[in-house]
Amino acid sequence: MKLNSTRVLALVIILTLMTITSNVLAKDGAWTIGPRMLPPSVDVSDEFREILLNTPTPNTEAAKSNIPETTEQWEAMISAADEQTAAAARKMAKALSVKVKHDTISGVNIYRVTPPKIAPEHKNHLFFHVHGGAYILNGGEAGTFEAVLIASHLKIPVISIDYRMPPKHPAPAAMEDVLAVWKVLLNERSAALIAMGGTSGGAGLTMSSVQRFQELGLALPQALLLGTPGADAAKVGDTRYINEGIDTGLVMWDGVIEEAMKMYATNYDLTDPYVSPVYGNFEGFPPSYLISGTRDLMLSDTVRVHRKLRRAGVDADLHVYEGQSHADYLKFMNVPESSEHFAELNAFLLKHLSKPLATTSALQNEVLKNIAVPESAAY
């Protein structure tokens, strides 16, 4: 049987490698991990299993060889990717009747993303969304992809920020934009009514921004979404190695992601909390919701942030999904695991966002406004 001979061959390779490396300690303590077979995950939804069954082994060679070299090449790669994502975001918004309207706040581009109906329990709430994309992708309407899903699933109004990015604008441009918008949002409503966050680089930028808000003595958002956060701009973290060639989305750190981080960091050391917020302060952080998967290259980023939060005494909920790669809850947004994520996120936000007395009164007043009250009822 063909499969068996493949397996026997794999075994022979493993045995040979084991004999050669023979468990001697490498100078830097690094381990040599042999090849292996990874079957499609079993205990997942039928829909997600079907996807895994039809996904070939992630191609590390292609990932490594496809790195732009000049600024023009970067910009071409970025705009090609963003065009596709923007088209998908537009289609999705239309299908879900979510309104996406461009606007500016303090000169920063933003999108107002509004579901067809706001849930009564989210009346007065706002989700301040920070898109991901390794700090280079998802500029313009492409950045609204996750925002549309949040608005639709949670029935909450969203403002999604289109912050400046490399190659033209390395850090701190992105955070300056977030800060400028945040100051205006704080004038419009209580921070206790605002959730903030995003996925990957969006979660990373959220964390460094919140750390900056703290330094400036600004009010903080009431709750955070830290979706498989880009917490470390350097190649640090077990799963950056363990899940190389296993994560179907990112595939591997070396290559485009690594170079994107360097472009973003330009003016900063890779360990500076400004670009690697995992090394920043987490004391007094808002309650945070974290999500990752067993095949996620950034699982270590996620659990490292979770522990930093917990050590600082922050209410932080960690969710790890079997079989999921980096941000699969966005990529495969129509499988049950994705809906489950948004349901969990909503439950978390509803637990932590303030429910101002005004909400109830406003609703009541609406209902009661046409009922005449006889004079005697007030005695």
Find the binding residues for a second copy in span 315-354 (CB under 8 A).
317-323, 340, 344
Can you tell me which of 121, 176, 244, 272 binds a second copy, judged by CB under 8 A?
A: 244
The torsion angles phi and psi of 289, rounded to 5 degrees, stand at: -110, 125
105, 208, 123, 118: which is closest to 160 by C-alpha? 105
Please give the C-alpha separations between residue 119 and each of 113, 198, 359, in angstroms, as whole numbers.
14, 20, 12
Can you tell me which of 132, 157, 166, 237 binds a second copy, judged by CB under 8 A?
A: 237
Give the relative orientation of helices 201-215 and 173-188 as an angle to the nearest 10 degrees.
70
Can you tell me which of 6, 97, 104, 360 binds a second copy, judged by CB under 8 A?
A: 6
290 class by beta-carbon count within 10 Å (0-12 exposed, 13-18 middle, 19+ buried): buried
β-strands 108-114, 99-105 pairing: antiparallel
CB of 212 to a second copy, least distance (A): 22
24 binds a second copy (CB under 8 A): yes
CB of 37 to a second copy, least distance (A): 5
What does the block give as tokens for 277?
A: 């917020």
CB of 51 to a second copy, least distance (A): 10
Do the Cβ atoms of 82 and 140 come closer than 8 Å? yes
153 binds a second copy (CB under 8 A): no
DSSP string, 66-101: ----SHHHHHHHHHHHHHHHHHHHHHHHHHTT-EEE
d(CA 253, CA 300) in angstroms, rounded, equals 13
Specify the residue, 178 or 257, whose C-beta has the smaller distance to a second copy.
Answer: 257
Specify the residue, 72 or 269, whose C-beta has the smaller distance to a second copy.
Answer: 72
DSSP string, 276-299: -GGGS--TTPPPEEEEEETT-TTH
CB of 174 to a second copy, least distance (A): 23
The count of residues interacting with a second copy (CB under 8 A) is: 80
242 binds a second copy (CB under 8 A): yes
CB of 137 to a second copy, least distance (A): 17
Site for a second copy in 165-224 (CB under 8 A): none
Site for a second copy in 45-74 (CB under 8 A): 52-62, 65-66, 68, 72-73
Can you tell me which of 18, 87, 95, 363 binds a second copy, judged by CB under 8 A?
A: 18
357 binds a second copy (CB under 8 A): no
40 binds a second copy (CB under 8 A): yes
d(CA 251, CA 229) in angstroms, rounded, equals 16
CB of 70 to a second copy, least distance (A): 8
Stretch that binds a second copy, among 18-26, 94-102, 103-111, 197-205 (CB under 8 A): 18-26
